[in-house]
A and B are shown apart, each in its own frame.
Chain A
Amino acid sequence: MTLKLGVPSKGRLMEKTFDWFAARGVTLRKSGSDREYAGAVDGIDGIELVLLSAGEVPRELDAGRIHLGVTGSDLVREKLSSWDQRVVEVAKMGFGGADLIIAVPQAWIDVDNLDDLDAVAAAFRANHGFRLRIATKYHRLVRDFLRENGVADYQLVDSQGATEGTIRNETAEAVADITSTGETLRANGLKILGDGLIHASQATLFRGRRSNWSKEQREILKTLDAKLAR
């Protein structure tokens, strides 16, 4: 029985993941042509490389179809309820950093923090007859964060891309989105709330619960752990 390691199948996240493992004596590579999603692992026995979309890694880990997986810590928290009971963080990998934040129009000079956002949400609902809309694709993370901070009278509207544009298009009043430099937000006339950091995400190596792992698989993990610790 091998251990299946899930890694993002393309782009910088894949390259950086390959580099990260290589620096620790484990070589991951795509086998066959560049367009083929098949992989190979050198430098350690018993690990099978599975190339898949970063967004699918949490679900596959949870289901036990892969045993280890690299993905953003934001995706694990968003896609798995009680994530820390379902998967374990093996290593923060130090790249792919991005912050999930709440942003509002720069013209909202009366809004600096969540306290203001909450007050504006109440007034907005009274004026417009519906709850202030926050566009996001991170529904669980945003909802949990706002509940914890006691913000009311908002609604989440789904936005799977170009989220910064929703305010200009009048389909949302605020956004909760991923940003690394804040450049796109600023270019779209938005600013980040001072206490609006929901989660600082980075690429992370996770492993699933080991409840159904064989002795052989546990030993492979031990060997890998020793290499990663170096």
Chain B
Amino acid sequence: MTGQSNWDRARSYQAAIAERGAVITDADYLQPAETLLDLYGEDIRARAFTTQDPLRGEQMLRPDFTVPIVQQHMAFGAEPARYTYFGKVFRKQEIDEARPSEFVQVGFEVFDGSDVAAADAEVFATFAEILADVPVTPVTGDIGILRAAVMGLKTTERRRAALMRHLWRPRRFKALLDRFGGITPVPAARAALLAEADPMANLPSVLGLRSESEIALRIEALRDDAAADPISNMERDLLDALLSVRETAPNAMTLLGDIAVDLPSISTAVDGMSARLDALSARGIDVETLPFEAAYGRTSMEYYDGFVFGFSAAADLNIPPVATGGRYDALTTVLGAGKGVPAVGGVIRPDLVAIAEAAQ
């Protein structure tokens, strides 16, 4: 249940964001399920409430605002634009009954590509100011650096694409990396299949939509892959080193700078981080002590592809971060039918702020 005090908090946060030049907007409660399923995959069914409209088909109670706000902007907006909204979002709770299945979020989204570092800093600083008197600790990360590292691996395009696809699924990512690195041996049956002169010769009769030519194409791809050199130990070690960076921002910069010597593909992204730290500093954020974790957001924030951040209450409260956000340039391309715009934003949960304050 959302008490009056949480709605009051939500309104005051939104007023603070609107004061900074954001336009107040809103989104529909019911969202077409197809869009969300295409974006998040089948997993969203475990998190979002699904219902049926006789004419519009399967609908979901909005699990977040980002998707509809981005769609609105891509359809009707023009850059630069700043939006704020607040209202309920709905999430099924399959594991922890103590967590609410509906709660209020207040959001801030910035579509402004004129100065990416400044926009990142603007969003982070806005939430930092709102939370100035709340006992929370910030953490930052940058999925863009990880993406740049994968894009720069000296291996086949197909392998890079496979790794990129699973950036958000650490277990499968690791399994792929072990396979591409030659750590996981090729199963005997697979080796035998690829060794056949014509693997397609004795094909059992083809059933279903996946055609014979699709099977033949994949066998060709598997043969190419078997012939490719393994991803070197050095590159795999560099990725490990990168993912384990967990330091204050200035120390993280030093470590990432070292890694960039051997993995030059991340240089641009590391420069971007440096520019962002300058921009944060200019907004009064103490970057000397600001925590940075290279793997932050990797498991829980699937559409972010650059700067990510969160503000967490004390661990013993066992609550999710009170505010989270990040950059999601690629999402705007997906939802904007190919046309993308630089975008960054975040949300804050008044109910969790209240819990953090009460525990003070």
Contact = CB atoms under 8 A, between A and B. Distances in A.
A and B pair up: yes
A154 B206 contact: no
A62 interface: no
B207 to A, nearest CB: 4
Please report whether the interface of chain B is mostly helix, strand, loop or mixed according to DSSP.
helix
A156 B4 CA distance: 40
B133 interface: no
A124 B187 CA distance: 23
Interface in A59-96: 81-82
Contacts, number: 103
Contacts of A110: 193, 215, 218-219, 222
B210 A124 contact: yes
Interface residues on A, range: 35 or more
Interface of B: 37-38, 41-43, 45-46, 94-95, 162, 165-166, 169, 171-173, 175-176, 179, 187, 189-190, 193, 199-200, 203-210, 212, 214-215, 217-219, 222
Contact of A173 (B166, B189, B209): B209
A112 B222 contact: no
Contact of A109 (B41, B193, B208): B193
A105 B208 contact: yes
Contact of A128 (B45, B166, B209): B209
Contacts of A152: 41, 165-166, 169
Contacts of A156: 42, 45
Interface stretch (A6-14, A29-37, A115-123): A115-123
Contacts of B218: 110, 119-120, 123
Interface of A: 81-82, 105-110, 112-113, 115, 118-120, 122-124, 127-128, 131, 139-140, 143-144, 146-156, 167-168, 170, 172-173, 189-190
Nearest to B169: A150
A127 to B, nearest CB: 6
A223 to B, nearest CB: 33
Contacts of B162: 119, 122
A122 B146 CA distance: 21
Given A119-B162, A150-B166, A107 B206 contact: yes
Contacts of B209: 128, 170, 173
